[in-house]
Amino acid sequence: MRKTFVAKKGEVKPDWFVVDANDQVLGRVASFVASRLRGKHRPEFTPNQLCGDAIIVINAEKVRVTGNKLQDKEYHRHTGYRLKTKSLQQVLDQHPERVLEKAIKGMLPKNALGRRMYGRLKVYAGATHPHTGQSPAELTVS
């Protein structure tokens, strides 16, 4: 009789990967990274355990969108005083990493496990990152 493998806490060690978002479509990069953060690519995937990888996304400022989203898509944030709204173009100009972070976070589970997965995500606007000590491998978006 075969038994289903269930990963225990701390049993699966995360690998480090670098994803280059240069000239990639925002939604495709976000869904690919969210899936890797969850660990759904691993044979030992367990839904209630942290078994995903640590992902570094570089060149977030060069991400691409389709259609008229640069002008039409809006990001809302509440300051506690009033609601502030900015277009995708304005957010990309001021804080380009926030666009990818928000897209990826929305694709993760909305619980404590999802917050721990989100903690393994590092997004940088430029082509450099300070995580060379982890010797991350290159990963291409498919």
- Judge whether 106 lies within some domain: yes
CATH of the domain at 106: 3.90.1180.10
Produce one character per residue of 82-102: b if its CB has 16 or more CB atoms within 10 Å, e if not. eeeebebeebbeeebbbbbbe
pLDDT tens figures, 73-97: 999 999 899 999 999 999 999 999 9
pLDDT (0 to 100) of residue 142: 82
- Judge whether 38 lies within some domain: yes
- Judge whether 119 lies within some domain: yes
Tell me the CA distances in angstroms from 118 to 17, 33, 49, 93, 99, one per residue in order: 15, 10, 14, 23, 14
- Judge whether 42 lies within some domain: yes
How many structural domains are present in the chain? 1
- Judge whether 91 lies within some domain: no
E-assigned strand segments in 14-141: 16-20, 54-58, 74-78, 83-87, 121-123, 137-139
- Judge whether 128 lies within some domain: yes
- The model carries a pTM of 0.92
pLDDT (0 to 100) of residue 3: 86
Give me the domain span that covers residue 109: 16-65+96-139
- Judge whether 26 lies within some domain: yes
Q: Which of 77, 56, 33 is nearest to 125 (CA)?
A: 56
Q: How many beta carbons lie within 10 A of that of residue 4, not counting itself?
A: 5
- Identify the band that residue 125 occupies on the pLDDT scale cut at 50, 70 and 90: very high
- Judge whether 74 lies within some domain: no
pLDDT tens figures, 7-66: 898 888 999 999 999 999 999 999 999 999 999 999 999 999 999 999 999 999 999 999
